[in-house]
Amino acid sequence: MAASPDSAPPKSAVTVLEINICNGCIMNKQINQVETLAILGVPPAFDQPLHVGRPNLGSRQQFNAYIESIWERRWLTNNGPLVQELEAALADYLQVKHLILVNNGTIALEIAAKASGLVGEVIMPSMTFAATPHAFQWQGMTPIFCDITPYPHNIDPTQVEALITPQTTAVVGVHLWGMPCNVAALTEIAQRHNLRLIFDAAHAFGCTHNGRFIGNYGDAEIFSFHATKFFNTLEGGAIATNDDHIAAQASAMRNFGFTGQDQVGFVGTNGKMDETAAAMGLVSLACIDDFIAVNQRNYQAYKEELADIPGIQLLPFDEAERNNFQYIVTEIDETLTGFSRDEMLRVLQAENVLVRRYFYPGCHRGQPYAASPKHTPVPLPVTERVVDQALGFPTGTAVTPDDIQRICQILRLLVNINSQQRQLLKRHLIKKL
């Protein structure tokens, strides 16, 4: 298959790079020369896109059987039997006293905030998905952004105290990429200032900290079981807590604040998980060890492949703990790679490797937070460096070690090309903007 004239690289680049778009090297293309890069107009390395967040699917047969049972029972939602079964199974898995399933991680955060009595200002990292600050802002609270540590990319406890004001009611840590926050330091600060401590553990289901599952720390922790998470319930989430009062409040709040039939105790919302979501959760739970094993295999493959590529630093998991390995995150150091993170992203996306700039440009630079300086009272230099350098790679059950080897061949080629080729490629990237 030859490249069409439309997709051929510009003539100047063809001449100087001596690009040779031949039939043979394209079908099963060898990624060993600049001219084999799809950004120059030849076909991509992958026929189908490789996604970050392609859902893991368990047994279709088992899922169908659950759907049949839902059909038979005519019990579709409102604390149905599958929701109750999944709730008990997840509480048991995490060894936590209370686990309250809800319909997504954002609602889990909103309910956890309300159930913990939060108002006023809440200190949190900007280096997170928009859902973290939005859940609090949506309820009339004020997210105050704090910087992160260079590794892991979590809220920096040494900076939290300076942000505490008389309006502060909580600190929210995010266990980004499933890597635990400095729980001890945050707990100490929260206790000393009489603040609530909530963890956004959207990425950290199945991970431990000091040998204990995430879900057991702070006043409450929340999970996301969105389709893109390694363990999913289609859409879904949960609040995990060992606090009986928070659990009772959260449980009622997900059901409009009903505390009994015809009895509304306080304001609530509709955070109920339905039976199909719970069915998916039960199917996913049956395969959770397999999903983690695949993620770990892929992580090891990236680790080995990236080891000899300068300037592409894989964020390591603490292998003394249990990890879910669901996010493969690197930091790109342009001074060593010769290409910026965004240039690499464009080269890789042209190859159908849909890498992601999670969480660019940082919540503090998005609305409504950018519009008011009150959200960002201090500079966030580490966050701003990381959002410019972080690049997330595809993993999960849809990705194989061969895919990873091929992805890393592209990276190796980019990092090792000579300066003349690099300049030409960069000019080409600029032209394509």
Q: Which of 32, 44, 23, 25 is nearest to 347 (CA)?
A: 44
Tell me whether residue 114 or residue 428 sits nearer to ligand T4K (CB atom): 114
Tell me whether residue 311 or residue 396 sits nearer to ligand T4K (CB atom): 396
Tell me whether residue 55 or residue 401 sits nearer to ligand T4K (CB atom): 55
Tell me whether residue 215 or residue 237 sits nearer to ligand T4K (CB atom): 237
| Kind of pairing between the strands at 220-224 and 353-354 | unpaired
**By CB under 6 A, residue 415 contacts ligand T4K:** no
| Kind of pairing between the strands at 237-241 and 328-332 | unpaired
Contact (CB, 8 A) for 313 and 391: no
> Applying CB under 6 A, which of residues 25, 89, 185, 227 lies at the interface with ligand T4K?
227
Site string for ligand T4K, 158-177 (x = CB under 6 A): ----------------x---
Size of the site for ligand T4K (CB under 6 A): 22
Minimum distance of ligand T4K from residue 12's CB (angstroms): 34
Residue 364 CB neighbours (<10 A): 22
**By CB under 6 A, residue 392 contacts ligand T4K:** no
Judged by CB under 6 A, the stretch of 27-35, 45-53, 329-337, 361-369 that binds ligand T4K is 45-53
Q: Which of 77, 76, 75, 79 is nearest to 251 (CA)?
A: 79
**By CB under 6 A, residue 396 contacts ligand T4K:** no
Contact (CB, 8 A) for 208 and 93: no
Minimum distance of ligand T4K from residue 237's CB (angstroms): 5
Q: What share of the chain is helix, strand, coil (3-state, %, to 5)?
A: 45, 15, 40
Tell me whether residue 129 or residue 302 sits nearer to ligand T4K (CB atom): 129
Tell me whether residue 226 or residue 428 sits nearer to ligand T4K (CB atom): 226
Minimum distance of ligand T4K from residue 300's CB (angstroms): 22
Q: Alpha-carbon torsion 304, 44, 50, 387, what sign?
A: positive
Judged by CB under 6 A, the stretch of 149-157, 219-227, 373-381, 400-408 that binds ligand T4K is 219-227
Helix (H, G, I), strand (E, B) or coil at 67: helix
**By CB under 6 A, residue 232 contacts ligand T4K:** no
Q: Which two tokens stand for residue 300?
A: 């090891």
The 328-332 sheet, strands edge to edge: 312-314, 328-332, 390-393
Tell me whether residue 130 or residue 163 sits nearer to ligand T4K (CB atom): 130
> Applying CB under 6 A, which of residues 228, 242, 313, 416 lies at the interface with ligand T4K?
228
Element (H, E) at 390: strand 390-393
| Nearest-CB residue for ligand T4K | 105
**By CB under 6 A, residue 382 contacts ligand T4K:** no
Instruction: Mention every residue, 6+ apart, whose C-beta is less than 8 A from residue 103.
Output: 235, 236, 237, 270, 271, 272, 273, 274, 277
The residues that touch ligand T4K, with contacts defined as CB under 6 A, are 51-55, 104-106, 128-129, 131-132, 174, 200, 202-203, 224, 226-228, 237, 354
